[in-house]
Amino acid sequence: MQEIKIGLEVHVQLNTESKLFCSCPTSQAEPNRNVCDVCLGFPGTKPVLNEKAIELALKIGYALDCRINKKFLFSRKTYFYPDLSKNFQITQLETPVSSGGKLNIKDNKIRIRRVHLEEDPAKIIREEDHVLLDYNRSGIPLVEIVTEPDLKSPREARIFLQKLQQILEFIYVGDFSKEGGIRVDANISMTKYESKYGYEEGLVEEKKGGVRVEIKNISGAKEVEKALNYEMLRQKNLLEVKRETRLWNEKTKITISAREKEEEDEYGYIFEPDLPVIELSDKILNEIQSNLPELPESKKRRFLKYKISPEIIDTLLTEPELTHYFEYLCETHNEKASAVLLAKYLKRTLNYHNLKLKDVDIDVRHLRRIIDLLQKYLITDDVAEIIIREMVGDHVKGKKVREPEQVLRDLKYEKPLEEERIRKFVLDVVRENTKAVKDYKIGKKESFDYLIGQVMKKTGRRASAKRIKELLKREVG
Ligand SMILES: [Zn+2]
Other Cβ atoms less than 10 A from the Cβ of 285: the count is: 15
Contact by Cβ (8 Å): 184, 218: yes
User: What distance in angstroms lies between residue 177's CA and the mean position of ligand 1's atoms?
Assistant: 23
Phi and psi dihedrals of 132, rounded to 5? -110, 145
CA of 165 to the centre of ligand 1 (A): 28
Report pLDDT digits (tens) over 108-157. Answer: 999 999 999 999 999 999 888 999 999 999 999 999 999 999 999 999 99
The pLDDT value recorded for residue 10 is: 97
Cα–chain center distance at 151: 19
Whole-number Å distance, alpha carbon 60 to ligand 1 midpoint, is 25
How many Cβ atoms sit within 10 Å of the Cβ of residue 329?
20
Cα-to-centroid distance, 275 and ligand 1 (Å):
16
Residue 128 CA to ligand 1 centre (angstroms): 29
What's the gap in Å between 33 CA and the centre of ligand 1? 10
What is the reported pLDDT for 40?
94
What is the band of 380 on the pLDDT scale with cuts at 50, 70, 90? confident
CA of 136 to the centre of ligand 1 (A): 8
Q: How many other CB atoms sit within 10 Å of the CB of residue 353? A: 14
Hey, what domains does the chain have and what are their CATH numbers?
Answer: 2-283 (no CATH), 305-410 (no CATH), 419-476 (1.10.10.410)
Distance 88 CA to ligand 1 centre (A): 15
Determine the average pLDDT of the residues in 292-306: 95
The rounded radius of gyration (Å) of the Cα atoms in the chain is 29
| The predicted structure's pLDDT at residue 262 | 62
pLDDT in tens, 76-122: 999 888 899 999 999 999 899 999 999 999 889 999 999 999 999 99
Distance (angstroms) between ligand 1 centre and the Cα of 48 equals 10
The stretch 17-43 carries a mean pLDDT of 95
Q: Render pLDDT for 410-455 as a digit per residue (tens, 0 to 9).
A: 988 877 677 777 888 899 899 999 899 999 988 888 899 999 999 8
pLDDT tens track for 323-367:
999 999 999 999 999 999 999 999 999 999 999 999 998 999 999
CA of 38 to the centre of ligand 1 (A): 5
Dist. CA 6 → ligand 1 center (Å): 36
Top pLDDT among 322 and 268 is at 322
Helix (H) or strand (E) holding 222: helix 221-236
DSSP 322-389: HHHHHHHHHHHS-HHHHHHIIIIIIHHHHHHTT--GGGS---HHHHHHHHHHHHTTSS-HHHHHHHHH
What's the gap in Å between 288 CA and the centre of ligand 1?
A: 27
DSSP code of residue 448: H
Ligand 1 centroid distance, CA of 145 (Å)? 24
Residue 63 reports pLDDT greater than 60:
yes
Inter-residue contact 86 to 312 (CB < 8 Å): no
Residue 178 pLDDT grade (very low, low, confident, very high; cuts 50, 70, 90): low
Which of the 8 DSSP states describes residue 173?
Answer: -
d(CA 132, CA 241): 35
Spacing, Cα 40 to ligand 1 middle (Å): 7
| CA 274–ligand 1 middle distance (angstroms) | 16
The pLDDT confidence band at residue 378, using thresholds 50, 70 and 90, is confident
Q: In this structure, which residues have their CB less than 5 angstroms from ion ligand 1? A: 22, 24, 36, 38-39
CA of residue 256 to ligand 1 center, whole Å = 34
CA of 124 to the centre of ligand 1 (A): 18
> 172 C-alpha vs ligand 1 centroid, how far in Å?
24
pLDDT at 241: 83
Nearest to 92 by CA among 102, 79, 80, 77: 77
| 405 CA → ligand 1 middle, Å | 50
CB-based contacts of 315: which residues, under 8 Å, 6+ apart? Answer: 322, 343, 344, 347
Please answer whether residues 186 and 155 qualify as being in contact, where contact means their C-beta atoms are separated by less than 8 angstroms. no
Does the pLDDT value for residue 180 go beyond 60? no
- Residue 34 CA to ligand 1 center (angstroms) comes to 7
pLDDT of residue 56: 97
* Confidence label for 371 from pLDDT (cuts 50, 70 and 90): very high
Interval between CA 28 and ligand 1 midpoint (Å): 14
How far is ligand 1, taken at its centre, from the CA of residue 218, in Å? 26
Contacts 24+ apart (CB under 8 A), 31-39: 31/132, 31/134, 31/136, 32/133, 32/134, 32/135, 32/136, 33/136, 34/136, 35/135, 35/136, 35/138, 38/139, 39/119, 39/135, 39/138, 39/139
Among 57-66, 107-116, 253-262, whose mean pLDDT is lowest? 253-262
Q: Is 430 exposed, middle or buried (0-12, 13-18, 19+ CB in 10 A)?
A: middle
For residue 182, report the distance from its CA to the centre of ligand 1, in Å.
Answer: 22
**Residue 410, exposed/middle/buried by CB under 10 A (0-12, 13-18, 19+)?**
exposed
